Amino acid sequence: MLFAQAGTISGKVTSADLGTPLAKASVFLSNATFGTSTANDGTFTMQNVKSGQYELVVTYVGYDSYHQTILVGATPINLKIEMHLKSYDLQEVNIVRHPFSKENFAKFIKYFLGTSDNAKKCRILNPTAIDLYYHTFEKKLVGTADEYIMIENKSLGYRIKYLLGGFELDEINQIVSYGGQYQFEDLKGTKKQLEIWRKKREDAYYGSSMHFFRALERNELDSAGFKMYRLIRTPNPERPPQIVIVQNIDKFMAKGMIDSANHWKELYNLNKFRETMIRTPTRPYEVLRTTDEAGVFAVTFPDCLYVVYTKKRDEDSNSYVYRPLDMANYMSTIITLYKPYTLIDLNGIVMLGKSTLYEGAWSNDKVADQLPVDYAPADKH
């Protein structure tokens, strides 16, 4: 097992403004399967929590949500949590929701839940909870939600409560970003169904970013089936900037100038970069650093990191990820850092939001393919 110890988290939730305990407040570990509600006196307890770093979240109607990073181990954790009443200004009171659009919702589903086999058995139970708006000129779809998005994943056997922090689909640069806090709950099923879900979950785990970062922390990349390479990229001088290409395609299509539009479509299909892979494998000590915070590691590297998982093949015929001609079509991901480094915790989760860009295999892993951070496979490959 990846986690040897289990811990206990307890505490009391009170109103900082009124000084009274808050009963029935929702207390959960973000992205995990652990959650509970406070008793009448505001107290709560979560037991047998697998060791690791978590974000504890507390929500209560009319109050700002509470967030705290905790490191669970053998020593029990006891918390005193004070929550503050929401303060509303005129701008917040006059929020305007946009009309529900089937077209916008279909795009949201594609890039939020994904298009994998798991996504086909995953659905959002309250679609109108999501406020979506498409910015035509910028070609961006943005989304927010002021209540939990309820998701049922019948492929992996989870019910998910997702508190969406924000969603953005940039259609010009083909980049999607979203985040928030969410809680997993196991669905009930027959013995046969539970076994199917167990196998599906293991298949989703092996080769995933969570699997990779856990193996990186433990210096187990080779046995886990991962290899890392340095990928050097330089912009392709023959390809105009993405926004210029897209704007010209739209302009000439609107004017009915098909030949001109096709010319720009050909430029669109050119590689954005000229890429060179350093074929000597990168070792864990070259990219992994310890930090002053227990259980937190920094990952840093020059250029891009090319990650190969040798125990699965890339079955995506539409994948445009760079691959040397003499390299087998193993599942591959290119990691680009937006910042000098990113941080990962003991659970193999990236802690810094908007710090990494995935291209290739991991970019296809959306909510329908995600596992709780406390997940551990029953077997080891």
Cβ atoms of 37 and 25 within 8 Å: the answer is: yes
Considering only CA atoms, which of 325, 272, 278 is closest in space to residue 304?
A: 278
Cβ atoms of 209 and 54 within 8 Å: the answer is: no
Cβ-Cβ contacts under 8 Å for 201 (sequence gap 6 or more): 156, 157, 371, 375, 377
Q: Write down the H helix ranges in 113-206.
A: 191-205
Q: Which element (helix H / strand E) includes 26?
A: strand 26-29
How far apart are the C-alpha atoms of 39 and 121, rounded to whole Å? 35
pTM of the model: 0.86
pLDDT tens for the chain, 381 residues: list them. Answer: 344 467 899 999 999 989 999 999 999 998 899 999 999 999 999 999 988 888 899 999 889 989 998 888 888 999 999 999 987 554 444 456 788 899 999 999 999 999 999 999 999 999 999 999 999 989 999 999 988 999 999 999 999 999 898 999 999 998 999 988 889 999 999 999 999 999 999 999 999 999 999 999 999 999 999 999 999 999 999 999 999 999 999 999 999 999 999 999 999 999 999 999 999 999 999 999 999 988 889 999 999 999 999 999 987 756 678 888 889 999 999 999 999 999 998 889 998 778 999 999 999 899 999 999 999 998 655
> How many other CB atoms are found less than 10 A from the CB of residue 126?
12
Token pair of 89 as six digits: 């200004």
How far apart are the C-alpha atoms of 166 and 145, rounded to whole Å? 8
Cβ atoms of 180 and 166 within 8 Å: the answer is: yes
Token pair of 239 as six digits: 């390809």
DSSP tag of 219: T
Q: Which segments of 171-253 are extended strands (E)?
A: 175-186, 226-235
- Decide the pairing of beta strands 158-170 and 175-186: antiparallel
Enumerate the β-bridge partners of residue 297: 290, 344
Cβ atoms of 81 and 64 within 8 Å: the answer is: no
